[in-house]
Structure 1
């Protein structure tokens, strides 16, 4: 009965960093993969995991056990795509090696996701977790924290929620002083200053977590490129930005008009004032993209039509929800028929957009088949 010593790299560090195609079957292929990743990123924990698996394989081979070793890699988009790749590779490895049981070697990071996939297809005899030894000093701990923060995956999981919490806290903390300032009441400017600090720190942490500065630079480059090439989307994009700014000010003005009401009512007023101008801003941008694609490539982008209808559907649903809440909590008097119509229009447009999307996909498939 053959035993398989199995390593799993769920986010495909071997492919992403070392450019290697998995699965790796056999000791030689696993050694090549480990050395390749070690040269690209010597601090990756997957290197220690695969060497631990090779060591276990050698030990079992000396004892005369019928054993094979393999490594599976998922996908950079951790989730459905990654798990589908792991499942496909696992079935390939099982068919190739003829293994009937497995020993899973991992770094323990995502066992709760990996284990069910493997155990559903082959008997798991044991799970060995590999931990990397570090120097027990403050300098070593600081170094580990810095390396964790530099890792995209860990930064989004650990740092981004902290930034969002600080940003939300700062925004809510500044609302009352600003409302008092608009009413002409006495305001503690130190309170506004502390709230602004939370907002700035939260914004910086969120920007760092999602690399918004790099995305902004890339966006600016694309805008420059579009301007030089005479893209038709520039005036539409400018109009869209202006409408979005107006939407924010209009929403803030609507919220300020409800300064004597509660916080929930102010938020509802802001959304009510903001939502439709924001929707029109997005639709203007979609129209610009549609015209630009047709002018530059003579290609009709049906997706822009579907997106426009979907956005209006979402707008009607949100408006219906706001009006329902206003009537329920006696914030305002709205006709029941109007609320029902808003919901019917919203869900009706959503269904229509779905049907339209399927029709456009069928048309696109037919055109592709004809070209072939």
Structure 2
């Protein structure tokens, strides 16, 4: 049995903030009387929603701990996230939880939820308070066939109408259907390969929470992330355009195919190598802009200059691969690229030293 002076908190989590959205009530809600009033109002406002049952279950657990277990220092509270979900909901929940802990000095918590979406926040809550139990509220339903169809239709409507589900049930399938239609026109011969590639990328992103990492990076380096996104699109266009051009050629070796790939035209005016150079340049430009207040790093400027001069090096290399060009010209361009890059790095370092000397 937990000692009363250590403090126990019965915590009901509404991750999508249905309580705040439907009742216009600010969270956190602390205290048996306050939670009971909100639960009654919510049940009258939306009697079909299980969030009311979760609040009643939290009150029931609070009374059990206080009356049956004899824990005196116990409290019940409701905290809420955001309809937008993700990191925004998590930050709001953490803020409200810390507010309650600071007010009552609670050490232990029992989490009460009405579904897996509320329990997603459990690992984060455990960083701030020791969770000694989780109570999952399951609402009993009629087992008749007619009621089953009514319930199924109700859940299907929620999947289509509610924002936290709509982006998965409508947004993602709609995106794939749109991409399938576009790819079937642009590259009908590779549609399944590219479709599997896109699905694999999406699964990879969600599986390793890369979307959350990207959101965090956006707050730190917004221009770099935007430039990298554009660069990825340019890489994709370059790859598709180059592959489409090379696939129409016959009787060429692998090295010749690489040369033709680099010098193939995209849109009739731009070479694939131009798109590659632009794609490599954009993230560096974004990085330099994001770090403008601290001043550009010599390594970033050097990499930017080297990539720009690399364009002609790749052109000369592609000429050699397809049986033309001159090896000496390629070597001269490589040397010129190295020399120009070195000069720019030296100039940036000199400018930084002069600035530091003045300050």
In the superposition, the TM-score normalised over structure 1's length comes to 0.54
Task: Pick closer, same or farther for the CA change 1:116–1:168 going to 2, 3 Å.
Answer: same
d(CA) in 1 for partners of 2:90, 2:226 = 33
Deviates more, 1:136-145 or 1:350-359: 350-359
Query: CA offsets per residue over residues 26-58 of structure 1, 9 Å max, x none?
Result: 011111221232232111111000001111212
Unaligned runs of 5+ in 1: 176-251, 269-304, 361-372
- Match of residue 146, structure 1, among 135, 140, 153: 153
Counterparts in 2 of 1:349 and 1:55: CA distance versus 1, 3 Å: same
1:100 to 107, 111, 132: 107
Aligned partner (choices 65, 68, 73) of residue 71 of structure 2:
65
Structure 2 residue ranges without an equivalent (≥5): 1-5, 196-222, 250-256, 265-270, 294-359
Match of 1:10 in 2: 15
Q: CA distance change for structure 1 residues 114 and 335 in 2, over 3 Å: closer, same or farther?
A: closer
Q: Is this contact kept in 1: 2:13–2:118, CA < 8 A? A: no
What SS does the corresponding residue of 2:151 show, helix, strand or coil? helix
Alignment-derived partner of residue 90 in structure 2: 83
Aligned partner of 2:261 in structure 1 is: 334
Cα deviations across residues 74-102 of structure 1 (Å, max 9, x unaligned)? 01111000001111111111111211111
2:27 is aligned to: 22
Alignment of 1:30-45 (within 5 A): 30-45=35-50
State how far apart, in whole Å, the 1-side matches of 2:194 and 2:16 are. Answer: 39
1:26 touches 1:68 (CA, 8 Å); kept in 2?
yes
> Residue 343 of structure 1 aligns with which residue?
276
Deviations 1:121-148 (A, max 9, x none): 1111111111001000112211222221
Contact 2:246 2:261 in 1 (8 A): no
Which entry has the higher C-alpha Rg, 1 or 2? 2
Q: Secondary structure at the match of 2:115?
A: coil
C-alpha deviation, 1:110, in angstroms: 2.2
| Preserved CA contact (<8 Å) 2:32 2:59 | yes
1:14 is paired with a residue of what secondary structure? Answer: helix
SS at match of 1:39: helix
Give distance in 1, aligned partners of 2:140 and 2:106.
Answer: 32
Report how many aligned residue pairs link the two structures.
240
Q: Structure 1, residues 300-350: CA drift from partner, whole Å, max 9, x if none? A: xxxxx9999888755532332224545786867333695443212123134
Query: How far apart are the structure 2 equivalents of 1:56 and 1:121?
Result: 21
Contact 1:52 1:130 (C-alpha < 8 Å) held by counterparts: yes
| 1:1-372 matches, cutoff 5 A | 1-63=6-68, 64-66=70-72, 67-110=74-117, 112-151=119-158, 152=162, 153-158=164-169, 252=185, 262-264=189-191, 313=231, 316-323=234-241, 325-326=243-244, 333-335=260-262, 338-353=271-286, 355-356=288-289
Whole-Å separation in 2 of the counterparts to 1:155 and 1:7: 24
CA RMSD of aligned residues (A): 3.8
What secondary structure, in the 3-state scheme, does the structure 1 residue paired with 2:143 have?
Answer: coil
* TM-score, normalising length: structure 2: 0.56
CA contact (8 A) 1:149 1:155 kept: no
* Secondary structure of the structure 1 residue equivalent to 2:261: coil
Sort the Cα spacing of 1:27 and 1:264 in 2 relative to 1 into closer, same or farther, 3 A: closer
